[in-house]
Structure 1
Amino acid sequence: MDDYNCQLTESCIKFAEDDIGETSERRTEALIMLKSWLKENPKINANPDPLSLLYFLRACKYDLDRTKENIKKFYKMRSIRSEWFNDRSPLDPHIAELFRIGVFLPLLKKDVDNRQIVIIRTGAHNPKKHKFSDVLKASKMILDYLMFQDESISVYGINAYFDMSHLTGGHAFQLTPTLIKHAVQSWEVYPIRVKLLKFLMVPSHVIWALQIFRSFMSAKLKSRMFISRDTAEDPSRLPVDLGGTESSYDELTVYWREKMESNADFFNRFDKYKTVS
């Protein structure tokens, strides 16, 4: 389509063709069909930007029925989960403080399979001060921005590492079954190819919470979830804080806090997209 500006390398385009079945002709045809479908269903109120639609198409490997269903679920979630998707200002004091803490940290280098690595620091915030819904809100803000800055993530996918060190009973108390269910549901409908969910340094007192997480997952997501009482087996591509050689938590925190503060307009443009009644 004339409004799609491909940002992929030749090797990434080849991978998309081999792994997803994407060709330029198939991509153009699918985008035309989805845009027409969205015009016929205005209440979905989805972002019509080609890159946004391609995230859904690639996550569903160009199965149009699955893609449409996932689009409906995603934008319905954005409408229902107002605590995560409304009033998303990086300058909001509660959100800005979570950015300063560094609860969600995408790495600046990819892994050996070109996948995006993100570190989720589940015990970094103060549970007496910060609501877990705000932690999720801040995390999704960074993820949404990241997805639109790097198209290759829609092809190669993402590996998520959960650093559960410093997790206290107060943190665990925030993880109600309802909140866990909502969090897992959001993972299932987000238009991103989740390749790994690795929970590191898991304290014994929160194993029950991870079992609840797992109970709400699809079979595919369950197969990609792993729990370890220690650090990663091969931490070389991880931050120095996890025994690796990549940027430290402090360095990544400064980088992403500055990115969020300087791109508040992104959320002003993006946050209007959610299902309307």
Structure 2
Amino acid sequence: MIRELTPELAEIAKKELNENPKQIANDLQHLKDWIAKQPHLKARTEDQWLIAFLRGCKFSLERVKKKLDLYYTLRTTAPEITLRIKPTDPKFLEFFRLGTCLILPNPKGKLCPRVLLIRAGRYDPSEHNVGEIMCMLYYLVQIMVLEDDIACVLGIKIVTDYVGVSMSHFVQGTPSMLKKMVAVSQDSMPLRLKGSHHINLPSGVEKVITIIQGFLNEKARQRLKIHKNQEELMEDIPKEVVPPEYGGSGPSIPELTEYWVGKFKEYHDWMKVEERLGTDESKRLGPPVANDFMEDGSFRKLDID
């Protein structure tokens, strides 16, 4: 069973996503039957999980199949992102409590995309890797997919704060790593990206942004914005969801961190199952769906202050 949308959200889903409540049961069964016929695929078939993929693909069954296949393929072929730290490992919450990534709350009385906050400068690059941030976001988004109909219908925005980010952080983002990160976040996740916002950029980081843009699709490139200050950021992000550390009136970073720590603990058993899912490429009947993400390279030659 899936949750019933509020009338306002249902109307948006109908207009923007082609959602037809009378057709949902048939679409879900079609996907379950398809998954059962894929010998290589070890995937979830819960209604609430699959409806998120349907909404993210505007109810195109063929697009959903490709996205589901890619999602679970990358679970197997890009473990340095999807399983760099297993969500049931105590080290997972240790890293998460550093505050490198959080999901901000939905504003009361408003329907707008959910906001993800990334603060890469919070981790020590001699002890951790940028892939660990993607791993945190990967599992945060899974919980959001299961619980948040607004995010599933209206999508998400990502805010990246570069305070504390050094050259040691940037050299971890090889082109191969960045390409995989984009594939996981842009191409395989069910939530639609409605914007990416960047603040507190150090000198020279525009070169990295340019490389990242090369991996993005046209819509994602158009929705990428660089903000001069926090006030400019809040022209695009509701002030009531922005933490006070950034000049907003939303919950503080420590409050949000502990809220999501509680969520990870609540979903411990769900995540334990999640760790075992993916693909067995030796059993795949057709050609692989994932692109080649193995190109090597680095940003060591960039001058970033």
Q: TM-score, normalised by structure 1?
A: 0.91
Query: How does 1:129-144 map onto structure 2 within 5 Å?
Result: 129-144=127-142
Residue 85 (str. 1) matches residue 118 (str. 2): no
One-letter identity of the residue aligned with 1:89: P
Query: Which residue is 1:148 aligned to?
Result: 146
Query: Which residue is 1:118 aligned to?
Result: 116
One-letter identity of the residue aligned with 1:26: Q
- Kindly indicate whether the alpha-carbon contact (under 8 Å) linking 2:28 and 2:50 is maintained by their aligned counterparts in 1: yes
CA distance in 2, matches of 1:62, 1:43: 24
CA distance in 2, matches of 1:90, 1:130: 18
One-letter identity of the residue aligned with 1:248: S
Query: Which residue is 2:71 aligned to?
Result: 74
CA distance in 2, matches of 1:26, 1:256: 34
Query: Which residue is 1:16 aligned to?
Result: 13
Query: Which residue is 2:182 aligned to?
Result: 184
CA distance in 2, matches of 1:55, 1:127: 34
- Kindly indicate whether the alpha-carbon contact (under 8 Å) linking 1:88 and 1:141 is maintained by their aligned counterparts in 2: no
User: Which deviates further from its counterpart, 67-76 or 229-238?
Assistant: 229-238
- Kindly indicate whether the alpha-carbon contact (under 8 Å) linking 2:87 and 2:139 is maintained by their aligned counterparts in 1: no
User: Which deviates further from its counterpart, 65-74 or 142-151?
Assistant: 142-151
Query: Which residue is 1:43 aligned to?
Result: 40
Consecutive unaligned residues in structure 1, runs of 5 or more: none
SS in 1 for 2:201: coil
Query: Which residue is 1:208 aligned to?
Result: 207
Displacement after TM superposition at 1:272 (Å): 2.3
Select 2:28's aligned residue among 27, 31, 54: 31
One-letter identity of the residue aligned with 1:117: V
- Kindly indicate whether the alpha-carbon contact (under 8 Å) linking 2:120 and 2:130 is maintained by their aligned counterparts in 1: no
- Kindly indicate whether the alpha-carbon contact (under 8 Å) linking 1:103 and 1:124 is maintained by their aligned counterparts in 2: yes
SS in 2 for 1:250: helix
User: Which deviates further from its counterpart, 59-68 or 103-112?
Assistant: 103-112
RMSD of aligned Cα (Å)? 1.8
CA distance in 2, matches of 1:8, 1:132: 36
Consecutive unaligned residues in structure 2, runs of 5 or more: 282-305
CA distance in 2, matches of 1:192, 1:70: 11
Select 1:251's aligned residue among 234, 245, 255: 255
- Kindly indicate whether the alpha-carbon contact (under 8 Å) linking 2:104 and 2:117 is maintained by their aligned counterparts in 1: yes
**Percentage identity across paired residues of the two chains:** 25
| Number of residue equivalences | 273
Query: Which residue is 1:229 aligned to?
Result: 228
- Kindly indicate whether the alpha-carbon contact (under 8 Å) linking 2:43 and 2:72 is maintained by their aligned counterparts in 1: yes
Query: Which residue is 1:107 aligned to?
Result: 104
CA distance in 1, matches of 2:228, 2:174: 22
Displacement after TM superposition at 1:173 (Å): 1.8
Displacement after TM superposition at 1:245 (Å): 0.8
Displacement after TM superposition at 1:81 (Å): 1.2
Displacement after TM superposition at 1:175 (Å): 1.5
Query: Which residue is 2:268 aligned to?
Result: 264
Displacement after TM superposition at 1:212 (Å): 0.9
Displacement after TM superposition at 1:218 (Å): 0.8
Displacement after TM superposition at 1:7 (Å): 4.3
Displacement after TM superposition at 1:106 (Å): 0.7
Displacement after TM superposition at 1:233 (Å): 4.2
Q: TM-score, normalised by structure 2?
A: 0.83
Alpha-carbon displacement from aligned partner over 1:3-57 (angstroms, at most 9, x marks no partner): x232422221222112111111221221121111111113122211112211111
| 1:213–1:241 distance in 2 versus 1, CA, 3 Å | same
SS in 2 for 1:174: coil
CA distance in 1, matches of 2:275, 2:102: 21
